[in-house]
Amino acid sequence: MGLKIFFRRSLLLGISMFAVVPVLVLAASPPWESGRARGELFVATSAGDAALRRRIAAFSSSVSPDDARRVVYAAYTTGVELRRQWRVVWLPGVQNFLVNTGARKGGLCFQWATELLVRLDALKLQTLELHWAESFVHTGAEHNVIVITARGQPFEQGILLDNWRYSGQLVWTQVAMDPEYHWKENKSEAVWRLERAREMASKQIEEHHHQNKGSSN
């Protein structure tokens, strides 16, 4: 399958300054062109991806089709918007390098996951639940994604949503079927990130209010 096969985790995360050029040569053709990556990892083809919507709706008869539709739309468009905003390049490891050297403002895996968590939380989903997932925690290969389940459903039965792995292109699979990572839930991290996002939003509103008040005086 050549370049259609996804590069190993070590290639994505172990990039150093001296490895950037050869990696770019090897990565001339992104793997999402095939539509399906490897194993049980799938690539969403649109903001209304039918396969992903069906898979989320199949969690339970209690899951609202509208909730499933809104999740797919938000997850897909988050990748599209942030890829443009952060000027994301392929491979993800190259983007990591650019962020860590100050050449890009965003694009690390936890940034993708945080943005998606905040946007999905804002949907006020009635039949679906959000989870923060971690793999290879406290190592150079640590990765974070958002997992979605039906309300009350075990984390292990969920679907992961990953915007980082293919540089802004949404990929998804069942948590236990990921060919690259082994996921664990971190509930406190999800709570902390949402609280921090709300605090930052409140601070921005307050600063905007003061600026407007000052300009009117």
Residues 173 and 196 grouped into a single domain: no
- Residue 6, pLDDT > 70, answer no
* Claim to verify: residue 178 and residue 193 sit in the same structural domain: no
**Could you tell me the residue range of the domain that residue 209 belongs to?**
188-217
On whether both 39 and 75 belong to a single domain, the answer is yes
Residues 25-40: pLDDT tens digits? Answer: 334 445 544 445 556 8
Q: How far, in Å, CA of 155 to CA of 182, rounded?
A: 12
Check whether residue 195 and residue 117 sit in a common domain.
no
Confidence of residue 18 (pLDDT cuts 50, 70, 90): very low
Check whether residue 41 and residue 69 sit in a common domain. Answer: yes
Q: What are phi and psi of 205, to 5 degrees?
A: -65, -45
- Residue 12, classed as helix, strand or coil, is helix
193 and 89 in a common domain: no
DSSP assigned state of 36: B
Query: Do residues 48 and 120 share a domain?
Result: yes
How does residue 97 score in pLDDT terms, banded at 50, 70 and 90? very high
Sequence-ordered alpha helix ranges (H) in 35-64: 50-57
Residues 49 and 139 in one domain: yes
- For the segment 142-195, what is each residue's pLDDT rounded down to a tens digit? 999 999 999 999 999 999 999 999 999 999 999 999 999 999 999 999 999 999
Total of domains in the chain: 2
Q: Could you tell me the two tokens for 91?
A: 């491979």
pLDDT of residue 67: 98
pTM: 0.80
Residue 201 confidence (pLDDT): 79
Same domain, 104 and 201: no
Say whether both 31 and 81 belong to one domain: yes
